[in-house]
Every structure is written in C-alpha cells, then in structure tokens.
Amino acid sequence: MSLLEIKNLHAGINGNDILKGINLEVNLGEVHAIMGPNGSGKSTLAGVIAGRNEYEIKLGQILYKNKDLSKMTPEERAREGIFLAFQYPVEIPGVTNLYFLKSAFNAIRKYRGLEEVDTLEFLSVVRNGAELVGLDESFLNRPVNEGFSGGEKKRNEVLQMAILQPTLSILDETDSGLDIDALKTIAEGVNKMHSDSNAIVIVTHYQRLLNYIMPDYVHVLIDGKIVKSGDKNLALVLEDKGYDWLKVQDAK
C-alpha cells in the first residue's frame, strides 16, 4: 500500500482549472521533489493535499493510507500525520510560539489516544527541536511568526515539523528567502527527521535545496500536469536547461 496515491486529480479555484490530471504515488521512506515554473500548480497541489478549502476537487482521487482525503477536514488530515510547511507562514499576534506548538502537539496526541503533556514536559521536546533547526530558545516566547524574519519563519516551520513528527511532510517553497547557511541547517534538520517510517514531498522552483536533501524522485509540473518524472539527475538537467524544452515537448 502506498502512503499517498493521487489518481487523475483535477482541481481548481473559483472555477479556474489549475491541476489537470495529476498522478503521483509516494511510499514510506521516499523523498519526492516537485519542480516547475511559476503558476504551474505546485502550491495548489500542496494546498489540495492539506485541505485548504478554497480549492475544489473536480475529478480524481487522493488516497492517504488508503483513505479518501477529500472526506477529511484539514485538522483530521494533520492529526493523521500530514504536515504542510507553509510558503508564507501566518502570524498569530499575542499567541506565543510555545503555546501554539503545545496546543498542536496535544491536539494530535489526543486524537491518537495518547496522554496530553504539560508545559514542562513539552519544553524538553521543543528544546531538542529548536536545536535541530538552529533557533534560539528565546523565540519560543515570541508571538507565532510575528516580527520573525523570513528565515526565522521557515525555520519555525521545520521546527514544527520536528515536533509534530508527521508521516507525510510537504515542504512548500521552504527554500525561498533563505541564505545558504540557513538552507544548510534546515536541510540537515529535515534529513535527520527523515526515516523509513515517513515520506517527504519537496515543492520548489530551484534545484539548490536538492543539493542538500537528496530526492529519490523528481517530477516536473507544468500547466497542471506532471510532464516528466525521473531521479535526482533530472533536477540537474532542469537547472541546466530550464523548463522551456519540456513546455515545447508538452505542446506537441
């Protein structure tokens, strides 16, 4: 059984078709990269999997652990182990990062029939995570994403991922806005978290993150369709040749 199976997925927003027949299979232990030019539908795909409700599924199916995702609320998907690292993490003024993370952690534990943890226990969990992504402890008491730099926001996303330990992580443009040092730290963090019991889908424009997180598969998304799939070498070809040669091929 595959972890995630997308079959002939057509989806859009406000009546516009964005995804026009996606097929994708992700198994435990795998890292997939989805690449493509601006506006090709990469973020839409990530949003549809996470359950962002402005998107409408018109045709096709998404199965996660053999369950139909379209029948699950976004929070149920999260509690079942789907994690989306946001391209634009959202600010929540007045709510500390620590409180937010603990609430999320406990909501997921409760769903899984585990006992909720208190602040003290949670602090030790969160400290390990903060170290992993190179974040200072003081930021735990700052409001969620408020006043964070671009880099801090992205690190915070990966910290949340480390703490919530999802089965399927989708990193949406996590590399954008990061300097090379931050990129390396985050990539190292993600690599440490990756194991045979989870899977990662990286959505990105550029190949550079893939220097640090090695994908097993690379898919090229253009105009709502996966036009080419390959191994990590495909990313290098894209870096070299761009996307235009694939667009031409697609036109034929």
Partner 1 sequence: MDEVKNILSNFIDREYKFGFYTEIEEETSPIGLNEEIIKWISAKKDEPEWILEWRLKAFRYWLSMKEPHWANVKYQPIDYQSIYYYSSPKRKERNGDSDGIDLELLRTYEKLGIPLQEREILAGVAVDAVFDSASVATTFKAKLKELGIIFCPISEAIRNYPDLVKQYLGSVVPANDNFFAALNSAVFSDGTFCYVPKGIKCPVELSTYFRINAAKLGQFERTLIIADEGAYVSYLEGCTAPMRDENQLHAAVVELVALDNAQIKYSTVQNWYPGDKEGRGGIYNFVTKRGKCLGKNSKISWTQIETGSAITWKYPSVLLIGDNSIGEFYSVAVVNNHQQADTGTKMIHLGNNTRSTIISKGISAGYGQNSYRGLVSIKKSAENARNFSRCDSLLIGNKCGAHTFPYIEVKNSTAKVEHEATTSKIGEDQIFYCQQRGLSIEDAVNMIVNGFCKEVIKNLPMEFAVEAQKLLGVSLEGSVG
Contact positions toward partner 1, by CB under 8 A?
50-54, 73-75, 77-79, 83-84, 86, 89-95, 99-100, 103-104, 107-108, 111, 143, 160, 164
Q: How far is the CB of 189 from partner 1 (least distance, A)?
A: 18
Which residues, including other chains, have CB under 8 Å from residue 12's CB and lie 6 or more apart? 18, 19, 44, 55, 56, 58
- Single-letter residue type at 199: A
Alpha helices in the chain (DSSP H): 42-50, 74-79, 97-111, 119-132, 150-164, 180-193, 232-241, 244-251
Nearest residue (CB) to partner 1, 93 versus 113: 93
Q: How far is the CB of 145 from partner 1 (least distance, A)?
A: 9
Report phi then psi at 52, rounded to 5: -60, 125
Q: How far is CA 219 from CA 5, 73, 136, 244, in A?
A: 15, 27, 35, 15
Nearest residue (CB) to partner 1, 100 versus 139: 100
Q: How far is the CB of 201 from partner 1 (least distance, A)?
A: 15
CA distance 157 to 137: 15
Which residues, including other chains, have CB under 8 Å from residue 222's CB and lie 6 or more apart? 36, 37, 40, 243, 246, 247, 250
- Single-letter residue type at 156: N
Place of tokens 């390959």: 230
Nearest residue (CB) to partner 1, 112 versus 241: 112
Q: How far is the CB of 203 from partner 1 (least distance, A)?
A: 15
Nearest residue (CB) to partner 1, 52 versus 208: 52
Bridge partners of 13, per DSSP, are: 16, 55
Nearest residue (CB) to partner 1, 37 versus 143: 143
Burial of 29 (0-12, 13-18, 19+ CB in 10 A): middle
Q: How far is the CB of 221 from partner 1 (least distance, A)?
A: 21
Report phi then psi at 217, rounded to 5: -135, 145
Q: How far is the CB of 188 from partner 1 (least distance, A)?
A: 23
Q: How far is the CB of 122 from partner 1 (least distance, A)?
A: 14
Nearest residue (CB) to partner 1, 75 versus 118: 75
Nearest residue (CB) to partner 1, 73 versus 191: 73
